[in-house]
Structure 1
Amino acid sequence: MRFNDTQEQTGAPLIDPFGRTIDYLRLSVTDRCDFRCVYCMAENMHFLPKAEILTLEELDRLSTAFIEHGVKRLRLTGGEPLVRKGIMTLVSSLSRHLETGALEELTVTTNGSQLSRFAKDLAAAGVRRLNVSIDSLKEERFRAITRWGRFQQVMDGIDAALAEGIKIKLNVVALKGVNEDEFDDMIRFCHERGMDLTFIETMPMGEIDQDRTDQYLPLSKVKQDLAQNWTLTPTPYKTGGPASYMNIKETGGRIGFITPLSHNFCESCNRVRVTCTGTLFMCLGQEDAADLRAPLRASESNDGLMQAIYHAIERKPKGHDFAIDRLTNRPSIGRHMSVTGG
């Protein structure tokens, strides 16, 4: 499908070559993080120069351009988005699109470390749902996985967000031989607090300090193991993301599964990602990308920016090529997840 200047100027929706409407943007606001999770980063990371990072005003303008062309869900990611200086200025500004109804949902993916500071402000800005990434409820294991994380700080943050009425979904990366003995406890922990829980297969992105082939745990096996203790029933519930959900009879709660390796979710993909440098990735598992920073900074008009976005959407692929190379242990994608945005 080809886009023309008239469509670019009139707010025409973003529709890819396979007829999928792109109405979900995941926007990274920083590549920096206060954790160093073993499956995500090397311990000694080299972060991007600040001159390459979009300003808060540029992030707002970019988000608004997408919203004006049909994006209904916006998720702020990182790195850890809440370590970005002045982040609440951006969140508060974007909340105007919730008030007009142009945006249906503004959400954040976080490691929870800063939630005690920001939960009240996030709720006031209209954030009704958060994804909190945590891979162990055992303090020593949590410290080993995150390297720099403080377990109680995250727990306090979760409590603060729940107290503000924000719904929380815990995201857990399933790591073979690391945290698979905790999954039953995680279900109880979440459902006793009215939280959802989503399991995620480890993604082969970026060089880390460990062997990913040792970490990989297919969620098909996780489902089989959980079915020994729980009654799992598929549900059509969706949040707009890639997870498939099941209800648990015994708790009345939900668990989700994100399976980029064992069973991809590309046929219904409605998402694109923009990095904190303004690079648009049409697919998480492909290297093709478009530079939005140059047209954003070249003119106060959005004509060039929207032309770049539309032409990029024309190239959105049918699916990704995630795989773990068991011979070389090289990642499928060279960039780190923290650079792309979660």
Structure 2
Amino acid sequence: MLDRYGRSINYMRISITDRCNLRCRYCMPDGIPWVPMEEILTYEELEMLAREAAGIGIRRIKVTGGEPLVRRGCPSFVGMLKRVPGIEQVTLTTNGVYLADYAEELKENGLDAVNVSLDTLNPQRFFEITGRDALGRVLDGLDAALQYQIPLKINAVLQKGRNEEEWPELASLARERRLDVRFIEMMPIGHGRNYESIANEEILRQLEMQYGPLARDNRVHGNGPAVYYRVPGYQGSIGFISAMHGKFCEYCNRIRVTSTGDIKSCLCFEDRISVRDALRAKDTQEVRNLLDLAIRNKPAAHRFEETDMVTEQQEMSSIGG
């Protein structure tokens, strides 16, 4: 389906929970309340949503959270989505703590790819950022995904004064393993407003100081707006999502659905359309109408570079990262 700016919207991110087993300071610090379980959409309701979304042109779905693997039955839900006519790809974003436990089951249910959020390879700093001592389990999860041949990306967010010097170690994961590493600029959403963004162009500059001019990697790596580069001797590529120091809105192809059934057409703004009542009434035509409305009302561009114009106040964990 085309929005009013002529963009083809074929990608939907579905959050299945606002719960998480980590407490990353910029996403879900301690004290953030969870919504009651009765307000969270059931898997059957989410499958209905996916069917209606496929009917208007959604072809790819990303399952997110919170942490999706803390919700019982997540791998089976991936299988449910894979069986929806018209859905061509189902991927998952996770913090990786439970990935080794579920990698085989996710593969059996047809998962097409997984993104793992990982901001440091230093155990003490991992604890400082996430509030948990679980780095070893995350690294086991990476190895398990590769063992079961699930295409893998690392999402790393650098924080001023915390981990900005660790980019070489994080980038080296793409040298040592067959995976891509993406650096994502901190966005001023929720507690992310309290952290200074590290410009991706600076990381690219330092990479090129070490390796010389890097060639763009124009192969399709996924559904997001990352720009990728090939680094000599690396098995995978290095990608950059530059929300603060770059603008990719003209190519945006996505909508988001929160775990409570709010459709968001842009992460930057508070605007949302609730589809929960229509789903619970099994009013499929109204579900489709609301999806259509959200897509048609999608704004031309975000305003992350003007932080006073960012109206979204909720935490990333409740929106669906």
- Shorter-chain TM-score tier: over 0.9
Segments of 4+ moved more than 6 angstroms:
none
Pick the aligned partner of 2:97 from 95, 113, 126. 113
How far apart are the structure 2 equivalents of 1:325 and 1:67? 34
Structure 2 residue aligned with 1:275: 258
Q: Which string of whole-angstrom CA distances, capped at 9 and with x for unpartnered residues, describes residues 221-279 of structure 1? A: 12112221124222223322111111112325311101111112101000000000110
Using the TM superposition, give the Cα deviation of residue 148 of structure 1 relative to its aligned residue in structure 2, in angstroms.
2.0
- 1:1-342 to 2 correspondences below 5 Å: 14-97=1-84, 102-207=86-191, 211-212=194-195, 215-231=196-212, 232-238=214-220, 239-298=222-281, 300-323=282-305, 325=307, 333-342=312-321
**Letter in structure 1 aligned against 2:13:** R
Structure 2 Cα separation of the partners of residues 136 and 177 of structure 1:
13
Q: Distance in 1 between matches of 2:211 and 2:56?
A: 43
Deviations 1:96-146 (A, max 9, x none): 13xx6x222110000001112110011111113110000001111111111
Give ranges in structure 1 of 5+ residues lacking alignment. Answer: 1-13
CA contact (8 A) 1:204 1:324 kept: no
- Note if contact 2:157-2:186 (Cα within 8 Å) is conserved in structure 1: yes
Q: 1:39-58 CA distances to partner (integer Å, 9 max, x unpaired)?
A: 21222210111111101111
Structure 2 SS opposite 1:126 = coil
CA contact 2:266–2:302 (8 Å) conserved in 1 = yes
TM-score in terms of structure 2 length: 0.94
* Cα distance in 1 for residues equivalent to 2:210 and 2:249: 30
Contact 1:296/1:305 (<8 A) preserved:
yes
Unpaired segments of 5 or more residues in structure 2?
none
Deviation at 1:218, TM superposition (A): 1.1
- The amino acid of 2:218's aligned partner reads P
Between the aligned residues of both structures, percent identity stands at 39
Distance (Å, rounded) in 1 between the aligned partners of 2:217 and 2:16: 33
Does the 8 A contact of 1:35 with 1:149 survive in 2?
Answer: no
Letter in 2 for 1:297: R
Secondary structure, counterpart of 2:154 in structure 1 = strand
Q: Which amino acid aligns with 2:206?
A: D
Shift of the alpha carbon at 1:160? 1.3
Is the 1:266–1:319 Cα contact (8 Å) retained in structure 2?
yes
C-alpha distance in structure 2 between counterparts of 1:253 and 1:88, whole Å:
26
Alignment-mate amino acid for residue 340 of structure 1: I
The residue type equivalent to 1:183 in the other structure is W
Computed over aligned residues only, the root mean square deviation of the Cα atoms, in angstroms, reads: 1.8
C-alpha contact 1:74 1:106 (8 A) present in aligned 2: yes
Task: Go from structure 1 to structure 2 and tell me whether the alpha carbon gap of 1:63 and 1:178 turns closer, same or farther (over 3 Å shift).
Answer: same
Cα distance in 2 for partners of 1:333, 1:141 equals: 29
